[in-house]
Amino acid sequence: MTSGPRARSRLDAVLEHPGQTLIGIDFDGTLAPIVPDPDHAHAEPRAVAALARLGPLLGTVAVVTGRPAQTAVRLGGFRGVAGLEHLVVLGQYGVERWDAATDEFVIPPEPDQVADLEAEIPPLLDRLGQGAARVEHKGRAVVVHTRQLPDPDASFDTLSGPLTALAERHAMVVEPGKNVLEIRSPGIDKGVALRAIVAERGARQVVFVGDDLGDLPAFRVVDQLRTEGLGGLLVCSASHEEDALSGLADVVVQGPDGVATWLEELADELEARAARAS
């Protein structure tokens, strides 16, 4: 399940105090396999089933994603799953929230500057010869996808500078990801979101599972929380596309399939301990 004695002792702390543990998990590339069309992504069923086993055993299970909360709930199929009655989904990097317990969404109003910025994107893409790039509208953010273009990496490089300049003119920032450039408001990221829910839940152990650059702030916060006396375990969903997280992680698994297996093994071990204790 883990690699090395340090990772093992960090996992042991989780196993010994599951009720004080919060697990935060990313969606795309971690719970859901990467697919060309973002509307066709779906959570790996084995991973959802494993989370449903972990739900009653852990203090908190939270999906922390760049997706709008409503999209993540729909694509994840999280509503009404036995075992996930207390799941929390933090969407748009923590700006939005869904609580399974109440089935309520908290979705703040969209920033005014998004519509103005969006209007400038199609002519900019055309000028750069990238008019076929897919534009994903997320209400409070806009994502330009290059995965479906003939040369995704070259298109990403072509668009990176001009989209960053456009974002800056509208007081927004660019969040790069796997063949995506996402333009959104500054001020909140997955680290801020994770720290807030850890404090809200009074968690003493934090596990975070992620795969992409947008997960780095959460990885850094877990590191900081360790220096503040909490337990922390970092799991990387590795891929050939992004390597920024693997060197920081305690556990490296191969993509959403590996994540699902790791979650199943965690559930197996926690259920075995609970059975021994009863």
The residue among 103 and 153 lying less far from ligand L263DTV3, judged by its C-beta, is 153
**Residues in CB range of 150: below 8 A, 6 or more apart:** none
N-terminal to C-terminal alpha carbon distance within the chain = 24
CB of 128 to ligand L263DTV3, least distance (A): 19
The residue among 36 and 161 lying less far from ligand L263DTV3, judged by its C-beta, is 36
CB of 21 to ligand L263DTV3, least distance (A): 21
Sites of contact with ligand L263DTV3 (CB under 6 A):
26-29, 34-36, 38, 41, 65-67, 136, 138, 143, 145, 147, 177-180, 182, 212, 214
**Residues in CB range of 68: below 8 A, 6 or more apart:** 91, 92, 96, 107, 138, 139
* CB atoms inside a 10 Å sphere around CB 102: 7
The residue among 44 and 270 lying less far from ligand L263DTV3, judged by its C-beta, is 44
CB of 112 to ligand L263DTV3, least distance (A): 21
Instruction: Return the structure tokens found at 61.
Output: 């299970």
The residue among 156 and 262 lying less far from ligand L263DTV3, judged by its C-beta, is 156
CB of 258 to ligand L263DTV3, least distance (A): 16
Q: Which residues of 221-230 are buried (b: 16+ CB within 10 A; e: fewer)?
A: bbeebeeeeb
DSSP 112: T
Query: Helix 113-127 and helix 152-169: axis angle, to 10°?
Result: 140
CB of 86 to ligand L263DTV3, least distance (A): 20
The residue among 35 and 244 lying less far from ligand L263DTV3, judged by its C-beta, is 35
